[in-house]
Amino acid sequence: MANEYPERRDPKVGEKTVEGIIVGRNKAVIPPQEVYQLAAIGCKDIEIAEWFGISEQSVRYNFKEQLVTGREAIKQSLRRAQLRLALSGNATMLIWLGKNILGQTEQGLNGQGTEPLPWIESDVTDVDSSIIEAVEEK
């Protein structure tokens, strides 16, 4: 499999070569996998840029895909951890996930069905006489 990123010999390291994308005025070689890993632990663009010594704009321009997929990976990991906690019986997490994922609220019926039932006036003749007798016996 051919390298998809150009290699650059770093004179400070000697014989070691670094695979990555050549970025910025100083021609820094940035491995896309490292950008992904930093994004996947929640680093902001500016933090990633400072880590590699390049501009934030260069990070966004050259590594958009790695930033997006890394940030999606951390969201998935957090969701898995939350579900594990909830399913292990953590009541707080169950409530939070119920509200945020299932749209549950503490309002109960959300105003629907909170009106009192209408009172129906009925004539005693409409009621079965056996029911009246049973009530009167008690």
Task: Decide if 91 is inside a domain.
Answer: no
Task: Decide if 67 is inside a domain.
Answer: yes
Task: Decide if 107 is inside a domain.
Answer: no
Residue by residue, pLDDT tens for the chain (138 residues) are 445 555 554 555 554 566 889 987 888 899 999 999 999 999 999 999 999 999 999 999 999 999 999 999 999 999 999 999 999 999 999 898 888 888 888 875 555 666 766 776 655 555 566 666 766 676
Distance CA 86, CA 133 (A): 54
27: left (phi over 0), alpha (psi -120 to 50) or beta: left
Q: What is the dihedral of CA 11, 12, 17, 22, to 10 degrees?
A: -80
- The CATH code of the domain that includes 29 is 1.10.10
Q: What is the pTM of this model?
A: 0.59
Q: Which two tokens stand for residue 103?
A: 């749209």
Distance CA 5, CA 27 (A): 14
Q: How many domains does the chain have?
A: 1
Task: Decide if 34 is inside a domain.
Answer: yes
Domain that holds residue 14: 7-75
Task: Decide if 15 is inside a domain.
Answer: yes
Task: Decide if 40 is inside a domain.
Answer: yes
Task: Decide if 71 is inside a domain.
Answer: yes
Task: Decide if 2 is inside a domain.
Answer: no
